[in-house]
A and B are shown apart, each in its own frame.
Chain A
Amino acid sequence: MDRLFTTLAQCISDEDPVALATVIERADAVEGQNPSLPELGATLLVSHAHGVQGSLGHDKLDAVVAGDVSAVLSSGRSVARHYGSAGESRLNDVTVFIDVFAPPPRMIIFGAVDFSAALVRVAKILGYHVTVCDAREVFATKRRFPEADEVVVAWPNAYLETVADRLGALDAVCVLTHDHKFDIPAIVAALSTKVGYLGAMGSRKTHAERVKRLIEAGADPSRLSEIMAPIGLAIGARTPEETAVAICAEIIARRAHAEVRSLRDDTGPIHRVAS
């Protein structure tokens, strides 16, 4: 592990997907030493850029574990697995912990508005790589969004085309522009990606109008129910910061399939007056 730690740190900082497999238990722990079993703590590192490094003590075990890594990486969940000392899948000579380090999920926020600034802050707490994109260069400045990883001046659809193939189930697109001129191309483009969460800000009335325009713009009507609009959970959020929490909570809840009330599935005004 010691030797591989530097490579691991490098992979994480380069956002190179990497897994660290470590022997954490041997079947002979109780009955006494079996010298043919891999050493406790033996480590194998597997990354896209650095290939396979280190060893668990047996070539065949290394090959089997390295082969299992890609599935574990795409699940994003670290897991302990049992193997025979030569990698046999039905035996339980050793337990190997496969610890995966995927690059951070991405959040793309369209619209360089105050709500976006608050959303950037909450998304950073949750570990997102955050991009703010707006076609208006006076608003889309790094100075206004110091915590964003990227601030891009571009039309939403043009920007989304450049990152479309990198978006997956854990990523999020939040459309906060509040302006059909930008909303429509952003949502049409986002619907053609595999992004896991797509939310759009605006009242129910705004969204009803938006739905008409989306269909006119060629969006697939059967996919429109995937848009979380009005965006966020129904927690009575009012300020940009509270709204940011409502949006991020909705993203977490959707990913976890948790049963909570989204504004989309609610009725009545989205801004309630406290009584």
Chain B
Amino acid sequence: MKDLIEDIERWQAAGQRVALARVVAVVGSGPRDPGAAMAINEASEVVGSVSGGCVEGAVVTEALGVIESGEPRLCTFGYSDDEAFAVGLTCGGTIRIFIEPLN
């Protein structure tokens, strides 16, 4: 997150809407620890990362939805015991990502 602040402030100063996505929980093997963050603006520009690259695309799609609706959401990526999600992690773990608007 520390590394994203400059870009977020620049985007906000330019009047762009921004969403912040943070890893809030990791179950099993996950590439990044809780606190790893990525920021997305309404033009789909991205800084930071929340995984080794496997779920970033899906997070951008969710983040654009958050910017549009203004409502935060908690997303889960990976495999759990009873259901398989659309986007998986190659390392086999599950990560939960909280995405919120920064208006």
Contacts and interface: CB of A to CB of B under 8 A. Distances in A.
Interface of A: 1-2, 5, 8-9, 12-13, 22, 24-25, 40-41, 77-80, 95, 97, 99-101
Report the 3 A-B pairs with minimum CB-CB distance, sorted nearest first.
A78-B35, A41-B72, A97-B24
Interface of B: 1-2, 5, 8-9, 20, 22, 24-25, 33-35, 71-74, 96, 98, 100-103
B98 A9 contact: no
B5 A12 contact: yes
Contacts of A41: 72, 100
Nearest to B6: A9
A1 B25 contact: no
Contacts of A13: 5
B62 to A, nearest CB: 14
A100 B36 CA distance: 11
A9 B9 contact: yes
Contacts of B25: 80
Given A9-B9, A24-B24, A80-B24, A97 B34 contact: yes
Contact of B34 (A25, A40, A80): A80
B77 to A, nearest CB: 15
A270 B83 CA distance: 53
B98 A1 contact: no
A40 B35 CA distance: 18
26 contacts: A1-B100, A1-B102, A2-B102, A5-B8, A5-B102, A13-B5, A22-B98, A22-B100, A24-B72, A40-B72, A40-B74, A77-B33, A77-B35, A78-B33, A78-B34, A79-B34, A80-B24, A80-B25, A80-B34, A95-B24, A97-B22, A97-B24, A97-B34, A97-B98, A99-B35, A100-B35
